[in-house]
Amino acid sequence: MRGRWGVLQSESHPRTGFPEMVIFGLIQPIMFVVLFSYVFGGSMKIGGSTSPADYRNFLMAGIFAQTVTFATAGAGAGIADDMHKGLIDRFRSLPMARGAVLTGRTLADLVQTALTVLVLAIVALLVGWRVGSNADTNVGKVLAAFGLLLLCGYAFTWIGALIGLSVRTPEAATSGGLIWLFPVTFVSNAFVDSSKMTPWLRHIAEWNPFSATVQACRTLFGNPGVSRSDAWPMAHPVWASLLYSILVIAVFRTLAVRKYRSATA
């Protein structure tokens, strides 16, 4: 038993490339902040204003949300890599619940995502992002916004877990984890005002779970761009973001654990 546990410890030890993963995970959102802020900042009209500062404040909720959801690809690739190396088969021999392995993995990814969001918030402050100065904005609401972001990221990580368990290689998990994220994040209110979209596309964007989190963060941050809409998720974004995230976790955790059990049976 001691020999078996020693093998488990050596194989479950953090990969030597982990620092590089963290660094590269930080570079991408920082690039998005800088590129969108300075390339598009002067040409975007937010609430009738073309001020680059207003667009930066509008943009940051979208960048935060995009960052936590893009962690899905890394989670899927990590689980696929563990399956490919046989690490999951070794965990199966231990007396633990089948879902515990996936839960531990997704929570570890959540910690990395939280670190990324922290660094991104510092960079955002350096380029001029500020929370609203009105009386409705306070520290509690700002922390609640970051809590919704992390909950959304955790929910999407379970989608990545299901993808990682459904493919054969980490490369396929990375591709499969990214290909659906681009329409989800760009057909939304993350980078442009959804009220300016054509009607059919606007309806899709307004009912997009990703848009609900972005809208909730803008509301809690007190940032511009919180446009009025009859769509329920846009009218009640905080509740919509919370319900969407819980629903995604409930559905995809169930599917991922079921897939895990069948893959290790």
Average pLDDT over residues 104-121: 88
Instruction: Give tens-digit pLDDT for 181-235.
Output: 989 999 999 988 888 889 999 999 999 999 999 999 999 998 877 667 889 999 9
CA distances (Å), origin 173, targets 11, 67, 76, 100, 255: 20, 18, 5, 21, 16
- Give the model confidence (pLDDT) of 7-32 as tens digits: 333 334 444 455 666 676 677 777 87
**Strand segments (E) across the chain:** none
Q: Which pTM does this prediction carry?
A: 0.84
The tens digit of pLDDT for each residue in 122-135 reads 888 888 888 875 65
Question: What does the pLDDT read at residue 176?
Answer: 81
Residue 97 confidence (pLDDT) above 50: yes
Query: Residue 244's pLDDT band (boundaries 50, 70, 90)?
Result: very high
**Residues contacting residue 61 through CB under 8 Å, at least 6 positions apart:** 145, 190, 214, 215, 217, 218, 221, 223
